[in-house]
């Protein structure tokens, strides 16, 4: 096969590089990760692969291991072995569940995160703010999608409420996920070579919208559903979908439970920080202190009580994560010789 064809195929699944690897290595994208290994896609075929030994070394920062979305150089064979992870253009991460702090890479090289919420009972601005806070430092751009426009009578009010709450630069679209007209609305985020992930709670309409974007008819939809119940196998099939618009959609189970990492600035709430600067006391607790600018804004409606509560919640969660992270770094510094093999590690994590 010609080099041009290989490059063209890789570009369709989001590769932005110029030249293919030499020395017998080949290039592919990680589309799924299982306990038993990785699934790679080269733009044409899906196949299993194992990480080379150096990725399994103890003490290696988990963030350096191959992750969903990565472009990797692999050595063909049975099985193929991943040798190298190419530089990532964006990294989505979250705090791993559990008592021990761990920052986990969920997906890389994602251009757009489509945050989907139903305009019906699922509508929840606080959840949208949580997603946006997580995406904040990833390099990926968030797009807020409000589904079930056709089912909701007060859609316009909800859209206006959210528009007033989110920063103006975050694109927002109210859609009917079943209507093929949505494809045109979303096409600018799904252009050839772009990668998107679709996140949102159960029932928000992720499968429905995915099928619409794929142009799958109803029969095929139920076939996809039947597959879904079989779990792991489905992830394989649906892990990287090449859409007719030219972009690709990455479906990773990692996006389902999202915890802050402790590194977020909560930029979304910068106005609240500015407000707090105006309080009479520098250490104002924003409770019953006189001259509290936050209370004043809550009283006169400039700041909504719900948004304030969500800010406090996300801030507490971030502080907890940051404290756990700090404690872990201290343990690492204390417990290891200075001349340790991965000396760059602590440095990176402090960034
Ligand atoms: N009328 C209408 N129904 C929708 C729309 N989006 C989703 N639905 C319906 O809402 C229900 C849930 O949609 P799904 O696509 O299964 O939701 P999901 O986000 O994939 O849910 P999980 O698979 O549990 O994560 C289905 O009955 C869809 O037909 C929409 O925009 N309009
Ligand atoms: Zn105050």
pTM of the shown model: 0.78
- The residue nearest atom 9 of ligand 1, judged by CA position, is 205
Token representation of residue 47:
């196949």
Please give the distance, rounded to the nearest whole angstrom, from the Cα atom of residue 101 to the centre of ligand 1: 34
- The residue nearest atom 15 of ligand 1, judged by CA position, is 205
Walking along the chain (351 residues) 10 residues at a time, the average pLDDT comes out as 88 92 94 89 92 92 91 96 97 69 82 93 87 88 95 91 91 96 95 91 86 70 40 46 88 65 77 92 90 95 90 85 71 53 35 33
- In CATH terms, the superfamily for domain 3-87 is Nucleic acid-binding proteins (2.40.50.140)
User: Cβ(141) to ligand 1 under 6 A?
Assistant: no
Closest ligand to C-alpha of residue 176 is: 1
User: Cβ(208) to ligand 1 under 6 A?
Assistant: yes
Confidence at residue 110, expressed as pLDDT on a 0 to 100 scale: 95
Residue range 297-330, pLDDT digits in tens? 999 999 999 889 989 988 888 887 777 767 766 7
Delimiting residues of CATH 2.40.50.140 domain(s) in the chain: 3-87
Delimiting residues of CATH 3.40.50.300 domain(s) in the chain: 105-255
Q: How many CB atoms lie within 10 A of CB 121?
A: 10
Using left for φ > 0, alpha for ψ between -120 and 50, and beta otherwise, residue 193 falls in: left
- In CATH terms, the superfamily for domain 105-255 is P-loop containing nucleotide triphosphate hydrolases (3.40.50.300)
3-state SS, residue 19: coil
93 touches 122 (CB < 8 A): no
Delimiting residues of CATH 1.10.40.50 domain(s) in the chain: 267-350
Please state the length of the chain.
351
CATH architecture of 267-350: Orthogonal Bundle (1.10)
User: Cβ(176) to ligand 1 under 6 A?
Assistant: yes
Beta strands in the chain (DSSP E): 26-34, 37-41, 46-51, 71-75, 81-85, 91-95, 103-108, 112-118, 141-147, 172-174, 195-199, 240-242, 248-250
User: Cβ(204) to ligand 1 under 6 A?
Assistant: yes
User: Cβ(173) to ligand 1 under 6 A?
Assistant: no
Token representation of residue 81:
């072995």
35 touches 50 (CB < 8 A): no
């Amino acid at each position: 096969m010609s080099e041009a064809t290989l490059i063209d195929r890789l570009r369709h699944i989001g590769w932005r590089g110029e030249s293919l690897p030499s020395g017998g290595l080949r290039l592919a994208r990680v589309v799924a990760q299982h306990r038993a290994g990785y699934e790679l896609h080269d733009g044409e075929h899906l196949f299993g692969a194992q990480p080379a030994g150096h990725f399994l070394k103890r003490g290696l920062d988990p963030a350096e291991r191959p992750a969903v979305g990565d472009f990797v150089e692999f050595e063909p064979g049975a099985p193929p072995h991943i040798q190298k992870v190419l530089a990532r253009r964006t990294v989505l991460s979250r705090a791993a569940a559990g008592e021990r702090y761990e920052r986990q890479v969920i997906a890389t090289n994602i251009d757009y995160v489509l945050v989907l919420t139903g305009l019906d009972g699922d509508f929840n601005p606080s959840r949208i703010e949580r997603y946006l806070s997580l995406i904040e430092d990833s390099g990926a751009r968030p797009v807020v999608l409000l589904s079930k426009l056709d089912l909701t009578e007060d859609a316009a009010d909800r859209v206006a409420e959210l528009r007033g709450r989110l920063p103006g630069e975050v694109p927002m679209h109210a859609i009917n996920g079943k209507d093929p007209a949505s494809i045109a609305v979303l096409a600018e985020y799904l252009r050839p070579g772009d990668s998107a992930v679709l996140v949102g709670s159960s029932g928000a309409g992720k499968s429905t919208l995915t099928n619409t974007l794929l142009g799958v008819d109803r029969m095929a939809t139920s076939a996809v559903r039947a597959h879904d119940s079989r779990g792991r196998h489905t992830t394989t099939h649906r892990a990287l979908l090449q859409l007719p618009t030219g972009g690709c959609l990455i479906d990773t189970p990692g996006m389902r439970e999202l915890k802050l990492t402790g590194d977020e600035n909560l930029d979304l709430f910068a106005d609240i920080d500015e407000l707090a600067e105006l309080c009479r006391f520098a250490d104002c607790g924003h409770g019953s202190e006189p001259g509290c600018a936050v209370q004043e804004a809550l009283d006169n409606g400039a700041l909504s009580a719900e948004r304030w509560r969500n800010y406090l919640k996300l801030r507490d969660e971030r502080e907890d994560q940051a404290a756990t992270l700090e404690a872990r770094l201290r343990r690492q510094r204390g417990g290891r010789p200075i001349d340790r093999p991965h000396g760059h590690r602590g440095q990176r994590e402090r960034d």
